Amino acid sequence: MSPRLILIGNYVSPYVRKVLACLELKGLDYEIDPITPFIGDDRFTELSPLRRIPVLIDGDLVLNDSSVICQYLEDRSAQPSLYPADIAERAKARWIEEYCDTHLAGALIGKLFYQKAIRRHFFQEEADEALVTHACAVEIPATLDYLERWAPADGYLFGPLSIADISIASYFRTASFVRYAIDADRWPRTAALVARVLSLPSLQKLAKLEDAVLRVPFAQHRDALAAAGAPLTVDTMATLTPRKGVPRFA
C-alpha cells in the first residue's frame, strides 16, 4: 500500500486550497498539518526553505509550490483529469493558474487579506488602509477585467473543470474571509464561475473546515478542525510564536 500523503498548510490559504481541491476531487487519501508559514518550526524550514505553504510529502518525496504539487498529483492519479487534454488549452489553463498565483494573489492576498487578517491577528498591527484602498479601487478591478474576458457564460473555462477554474475560485474564497465579494453586475461571468466552483461538493467539504477555524485563535485550530472531522496528522510543526517574513505563500 502506498504511504498516505501528508500536506502541510493551512485551510485558509488559497494555495493550499488548490492542492486540497485536487486531493479531494481525485479521491486521494491524505493527512494535513494545518499550519501557516508564520508559525512553522525549524522542521518546517528544513522541508520548505522559503518557508512557504503548501508542502506535500509522499513517502521520501517532498514537494514545494502549489503548481508543482498539483501537476504531480495529476501525474500520480490521472483521473479525473484536472488539466485539459488539448495541449493548447492545457497551456492556457496553466497560464491562468500562474496569473492567479502571482498577479491576482498579489492584489487579493498580499494587499488585502494579509493587511486585514494576517497583520491584525498574527502580529497585532494595524492594516495599511491606503494600500487596501488602492488594491480594492485599482488593482483588484484590473484583475477582474482580465479574468472576465476569459470566463465563460456557463460551465468552465476549458470544458471540464480544470486547475484554472480551481485557481480563480480559491483566491476569491480567501478574499471573502475579509468580506471581499465580486460585483456580479460589473463582472457577471467571473462571479458566476467562482460560485459554480465553490458549490461543488468537494469545495463545500473544504469550506466547512475553513469555516471551523475562521474566528478561532490559532492555538485552538487543531481542536476545532478535529471536531469538524479534518484528517489531521498526529504531530504538528506549529509553534506558538509567529515569525515575520515575506508575506507570500506558494
> 6 forms bridges with which residues in the sheet?
31, 57
Question: How many other β-carbons are positioned within 10 Å of the β-carbon of residue 223?
Answer: 13
Mean pLDDT of 116-143: 82
pLDDT-derived band at 245 (thresholds 50, 70, 90) equals low
DSSP helix, strand, coil percent of the chain (3-state; round to 5): 55, 10, 35
pTM (predicted TM-score): 0.91
- Percent of the chain past pLDDT 70, that is, above it, reads 92
> ∠57-59-64 over CA atoms, to 5°?
25
Which pLDDT value is given to residue 121?
Answer: 65
Domains of the chain: 5-81+203-228 (3.40.30.10), 87-198 (1.20.1050.10)
Mean pLDDT of 181-194: 98
Question: Phi/psi of residue 55, each to 5°?
Answer: -125, 135
Minimum mean pLDDT range among 27-31, 77-81, 129-133, 149-153: 129-133
Whole-number average pLDDT of the chain: 90
Mean pLDDT of 136-153: 96
Measured distance CA(37)–CA(53) in Å, rounded? 6
**3-class secondary structure, 223:** helix
> 58 forms bridges with which residues in the sheet?
61
Q: Where are the extended beta strands (E) located within the chain?
A: 5-8, 30-33, 55-58, 61-64
- Exposure string for 28-40, b = 16+ CB within 10 A, e = fewer: eebebbbbbbbbb
Minimum mean pLDDT range among 26-30, 208-212, 215-219: 215-219
Minimum mean pLDDT range among 43-47, 68-72, 77-81, 146-150: 43-47
Question: Residue type at 126?
Answer: E
Contact predicate 197/165, CB 8 Å: yes
Which pLDDT value is given to residue 111?
Answer: 86
